[in-house]
Amino acid sequence: MKTYKIACIPGDGIGKEVIPAGQTALEALAKAQQGFRFEFTSFDWGGDYYRKHGVMMPADGLEPLRKMDAILFGSAGDPDIPDHITLWGLRLKICQGFDQYANVRPTRILPGIDAPLKRCGPKDLDWVIVRENSEGEYAGVGGRVHQGHPIEAATDVSIMTRAGVERIMRFAFRLAQSRPRKLLTVVTKSNAQRHAMVMWDEIALQVSKEFPDVKWDKELVDACTARMINRPASLDTLVATNLHADILSDLAAALAGSLGIAPTGNIDPERRYPSMFEPIHGSAFDIMGKGLANPVGTFWSCVMMLEHLGESAAARQLMQAVESITADQSLHTRDLGGRASTAQVTQALCDRLAGATARPQPA
């Protein structure tokens, strides 16, 4: 039987609650599907590891991950450790170490979810945001001089390379081409950022010629936020820089009902390394340890992982189970206005997965 080796990195805060929920769901799915199994290896990296060892993960931590088929990640972020240390010390180390340059963030309004946009139903909002995940504003280049003095100066330099922009554009056009509407919006800010973003626009035009069947347009990032709210159905696939897409995708998640639902994949499209799947939310300090975390973002991330592994029937079955969960108001967690716990939602999902394959008894 096919065995998928999955690394689980719960990390911090509610990551420690939703990742075990994701594992439970995957186990139930494998039992129902009967065509494959999972071999999970958990890594206790994150804030607690930092308190003990002074680093978020071991220096050679990428080595055990390298032979995995995929990585399931929770969140990096601890109330007592500065965010730039937790982020750069764990999540970005993996994303950059494995050149997961395409961050893919689907957004849909799932059945039963009361999304905040008026006159906007599930059919009016079906987006995939592609985020450049390896360079740009989060290249990590910059510094501070005369720290703490009145003359202090600091920079965070946004680095964009032709190769880096070309590969994310090509990925986005290909993804848009694979979707029914074949529609791509290239998000830009080339009115104000007149070097890298102008190159970004030029490369979009150049790559578009390889995809004559894809309809595409350009939108300034600020105008794009308004368009997401005023004309959501005019968007389908979007591609944006690391920073721009980071912001747009949290907006997208909120417009679809909750940050707790949205999934993402940090993908190495060339499949040289394992890709990493995670809910887009963070550690959620306000609710951690209380069993209130919505596990749906993690379940949907597991769907993306299964698609990446080529298990499309299993991915479909899990997504159907997720949608039947969200359709049931009694299974909504607090972020959706309900009272269900992480454990109740997870149990209900597993019941549905088991029920879906239960054969009718012969009379």
Does position 266 interact with K ion (CB under 5 A)? The reply is no
- CA 6 to centroid of chain Cα atoms: 17
- Give strand pairing partners of 104: 130, 265
Does position 89 interact with ligand NAD (CB under 6 A)? The reply is no
Does position 246 interact with Mn ion (CB under 5 A)? The reply is yes
The least distance separating ligand NAD from the CB of residue 206, rounded to whole angstroms, comes to 32
Q: Where does this chain touch ligand NAD (CB under 6 A) — which range of 2-10, 141-149, 287-295, 324-332?
A: 287-295
- Footprint of ligand NAD on 217-276 (CB under 6 A): 259-260
Does position 75 interact with K ion (CB under 5 A)? The reply is yes
Does position 114 interact with ligand NAD (CB under 6 A)? The reply is no
Strand-pair category, 263-267 with 2-11? unpaired
Contact criterion met (CB below 8 Å) for 302 and 97: no
Q: Where would I find the beta strands (DSSP E) of 147-262?
A: 153-159, 183-188, 215-220, 237-240
Nearest to 19 by CA among 342, 347, 336, 324: 342
Does position 278 interact with K ion (CB under 5 A)? The reply is yes
Does position 76 interact with ligand NAD (CB under 6 A)? The reply is yes
Among K ion, Mn ion, ligand NAD, none, partner that 284 touches (CB below 5 to 8 angstroms by kind): ligand NAD
The phi-psi region of residue 196 (left if phi > 0; otherwise alpha if psi is between -120 and 50; otherwise beta) is: alpha
Query: Rounded to an integer, what distance in angstroms lies between the CA atom of residue 68 and that of residue 336?
Result: 34
Task: Using the minimum distance from each CB to ligand NAD, give the nearer residue, 284 or 304.
Answer: 284
Q: Where does this chain touch ligand NAD (CB under 6 A) — which range of 42-50, 81-89, 108-116, 266-274?
A: 81-89
Does position 77 interact with ligand NAD (CB under 6 A)? The reply is yes
Residue 134: DSSP 8-state? S
Can you count the helices (H) and strands (E) in the chain? 12, 12
Binding site for K ion (CB under 5 A): 75, 278
Binding site for ligand NAD (CB under 6 A): 14, 75-77, 83, 86-87, 91, 259-260, 278, 281-287, 293-294, 297, 333, 335
